[in-house]
A = this chain, B = another copy of it.
Amino acid sequence: MAFLSLRRALTLPLPKWERGLWALALLASPALADGLIDNANGYSFDGKGQLVRFNGLLIDDQGKVAKLLDRNDKRPEKLDYRLDAKGRTVIPGLIDAHGHVMALGAAALSLDLSATNSLAEMQDALRRYAADRPTPLWIGGGGWNQERWGLGRFPTAADIDAITPGRPVVLNRVDGHALLANSAAMAAAGISAATKDPPGGRIERDAKGKPTGVFIDAAQHLIRDSVPPMLPRDRDAALARAQDILLSYGITATADMGTSTDDWAVMRRAGDAGRLKLRIIAYAGGIPALLSIAGTGPTPWLYDGRLRMIGVKLYDDGALGSRGAWLKAPYADAPGQKGLQFLDDAKLRNLMSRAAMDGFQTAVHAIGDAANAQLLDAIDELAATYKGDRRWRIEHAQIVDPADLSRFGRNGIVASMQPVHQTSDRLMAEARLGPNRLGGAYAWKAMLDNKAPLAFGSDYPVESPNPFPALATAISRQDERGQPAGGWQPQQAITLPQAFRAFTETAAFAGFAEDRIGTLMPGRMADFLILDRDIFTATAPDIRAAKPVETWIGGKRIWVAK
């Protein structure tokens, strides 16, 4: 089987609160069986946008929800197992509508700089990591953010050259749209002052034109192409690590945005070997990967509903941090620059058509208002040709011209957004756009008002995959320090049920999976969490701190808090 057997799941170390529990009947056989989660403070959407409550969750021998029970409903007399939730909150497993599974695992195995608050802290972290790991020769990592450091400039190779003599170092910026290479890495890649900026990319240079170490958007390939590929065992380890991280945060299903043929092979190896635990809805990283892997249409659900390729991820522009987001008007803090347009109108339509003609879903990255407008135009045109239930996904939709917001409610567009980007980006967004172009920035409420299906995710590993800070952010527009007071652009805050729905029912809908996950209605998979608190009666800071106590997938307990 694809994950911990029921027997093993039920014999995992129990959390403290559950010790001495009378009701947990262990099975002799590892096969699935009828079970009941009882005395739950249960919440689920009903598949039609209504929040429903339940006290008991009856699970059938296929790992599906058989019935939701009220407190007074009669319990079956014969059950193979029964768990007393003791009044704790039970919710559907959360679904991340936009993540990068392999990158999350690889990042977790590499140097994590996301907690560094200064260049000096980054230098210390690099020194420790290099000392701990004499091999492999190349050092990879990421998570740096010169904005967070308050550095006022990009870091440079010179900042890190002395720390790891002879060892190439490549460190990704937090948003994945820029990297920092040391001199050894640039030498290995053959970079010099004579190296030209590639189309769609930029090399940071000093006054004499010599590259300083930072490579933006398409220029990153100049370095990345020289990095030795990961070994298969490291790829397998990365997937295992990613799964463990996601399950610990209560993520039971995720979209994988940009699955490469190598990524897909890793996922299939895990599935073949019974090591695939969570559910992955894969969007191929570009048309060639889509056609190679899935070929003539979406794959069936594989491995007992744990893996499917449904469509393709495309990129229409870059990101705001590196000024790659394509804007209608120039950047407020870089006059004359409007960002990077990745695809002209014809190319965008051609790529989307190539996927749509075979019934594939498209999920297109669009961050700047010009990119969003271009994509909305393309969808207007394509929707006339490719009829039916298409669910055109716009990924991020971060900076939308207020004049374009109402267009999200048309053509079956899904707005796939990431709440935590708002708190991470707000100061930068103000700098990049100035005060007068923020009316359609991170505009969750506007999406709902316009009746666009709103699916939430984290864009992990750009942000943490922990969905609870995202839920808190969605209702407060405030960061973990409660900043800014009153919330940033608070008119775009939404309610907790709305945010919860975006992480469950609508996130499933966004991946054509609402018939099996996202709610706990009868017939859906019994993917659910037992939480340490009731998020529906909590304040934003309290929601932010919420943690799963147990994570169940398909009627099996596969993760328990230590």
List residues of chain A with CB under 8 Å of any chain B CB.
231-233, 235-236, 261-262, 265-266, 268-269, 272-273, 291-296, 299-300, 302, 358
Q: How many copies does the complex hold?
A: 2
Closest residue of chain B to A260, judged by CB? B292
A296 contacts B261, C-beta separation under 8 Å: no
Contact of A292 among B261, B291, B299 (CB under 8 A): B261
Q: How far is the CB of A101 from chain B (nearest CB, A)?
A: 16
Expressed in whole angstroms, the minimum distance between the Cβ of A231 and any Cβ of chain B is 8
A272 touches B302 (CB 8 A): yes
Q: Within 8 Å CB of A236, what residues of B? A: 295-296
Q: How far is the CA of A265 from the CA of B265 in the complex (A)?
A: 9
Chain B: CB-nearest residue to A232: B295
**Cβ–Cβ < 8 Å partners of A296 in chain B:** 232-233, 236, 269
Chain B nearest CB from A293 CB (Å) reads 5
A84 smallest CB distance to B (angstroms): 39
Question: Which of B262, B269, B295 makes the CB contact (< 8 A) with A233?
Answer: B295
Query: What residue of chain B has the Cβ atom nearest to residue A288's Cβ?
Result: B229
Contacting residues, chain B, for A232 (C-beta < 8 A):
291-292, 294-296, 358
- CB pair A273–B295 under 8 Å, yes or no, is no
CA distance A236 to B299 in the complex (A): 13
Most buried by B among A269, A294, A358: A269
Residues of B with C-beta under 8 A to A235: 295
A268 to B295, CA, bound (A): 11
Once the chains are docked, how many angstroms separate the CA of A553 from the CA of B292?
Answer: 29
Question: Which B residues touch A233, using CB under 8 A?
Answer: 295-296
A239 to chain B, nearest CB (A): 11
A-B contact pairs, 17 of them (CB 8 A): A231-B291, A232-B292, A232-B294, A232-B295, A232-B296, A232-B358, A233-B296, A261-B261, A261-B265, A261-B292, A262-B292, A265-B292, A268-B268, A269-B294, A269-B295, A269-B296, A272-B300
Beyond known contacts A231-B291, A272-B300: 9 more, CB 8 A cutoff: A232-B291, A232-B292, A236-B296, A262-B292, A265-B292, A265-B295, A269-B294, A269-B296, A272-B299
Residues of B with C-beta under 8 A to A269: 294-296, 299
Cα separation A262 to B358 with both chains bound (whole Å): 18
Determine the residue in chain B with the shortest Cβ distance to A261. B261
Q: Which residues of B contact A268 (CB under 8 A)?
A: 268
For residue A227, give the distance in angstroms from its CB to the closest CB of chain B. Answer: 15
Distance of A532 Cα from B231 Cα, bound (Å): 51
CA distance A262 to B261 in the complex (A): 9
What residue of chain B has the Cβ atom nearest to residue A266's Cβ? B295
- How many Å from the CB of A232 to the closest CB on chain B? 3
Cα A235 to Cα B291 in complex, Å, equals: 11
Residue of B nearest to A297 (CB): B232
Collect the chain B residues with CB atoms within 8 Å of residue A302's CB.
272
A78 to B: closest C-beta gap in Å = 28
Kindly state the separation between the CA atoms of A148 and B292 in the bound complex, as whole angstroms: 37
Q: Which residues of chain B are within 8 angstroms of A358 by Cβ–Cβ distance?
A: 232
CB distance from A157 to the nearest CB of B (A): 30
A427 to chain B, nearest CB (A): 42
Distance to closest chain B CB from A200 (angstroms): 24
- A311 CB to nearest B CB, Å: 14
**A291 vs B234: C-alpha distance when bound (angstroms):** 12
A83 to B135, CA, bound (A): 63
CA of A294 to CA of B262, assembled, Å: 10
**Roughly how many angstroms separate A85 CA and B268 CA in the complex, as a whole number?**
42
How far apart sit A268 and B236, CA to CA, in the bound complex (Å)? 19
Q: Measured between alpha carbons, how far is A293 from B302 in the docked complex, in Å?
A: 17
A370 CA to B185 CA, complexed, in Å: 41
Residues from chain B with a CB closer than 8 A to the CB of A299 are 269, 272
Q: Inside 8 A of A294's CB, which chain B residues have their CB?
A: 232, 269
- Which residues of chain B come closer than 8 Å to A261, judged between CB atoms? 261, 265, 292
CB proximity of A250 to chain B, nearest CB, Å? 29
A294 to B269, CA, bound (A): 7
Bound state CA distance, A261 and B272, in angstroms? 17
Closest to A302 in B: B272
Q: Which residues on the B side are within 8 Å of A266 (C-beta)? A: 295
A262 to B296, CA, bound (A): 13
Closest chain B residue, CB of each to CB of A295: B232
C-alpha gap A261/B262 in the complex (Å): 9
Measured in the bound complex, the distance between the Cα atoms of B296 and A302 in whole Å is: 21
**Chain B residues, Cβ within 8 Å of A293:** 265
With the chains together, A236 CA to B232 CA distance in Å?
A: 28
CA A236 to CA B297, docked complex, whole Å: 12
Within the assembled complex, what's the spacing in Å between the Cα atoms of A232 and B262? 18
Contacts of A300 in B (CB 8 A): 272-273
Complex CA–CA separation, A472 to B183 (angstroms): 66
Separation of A291 and B265 alpha carbons in the complex (Å): 9
Report chain B residues within 8 Å CB of A262.
Answer: 292
Which 9 residue pairs of A and B lie closest in terms of their CB atoms, listed nearest first?
A: A232-B295, A232-B296, A233-B296, A232-B291, A265-B292, A262-B292, A265-B293, A269-B295, A272-B300
Return chain B residues, CB-CB under 8 Å to A295: 232-233, 235-236, 265-266, 269
Q: Which of chain B's residues has its CB closest to A230's CB? A: B291
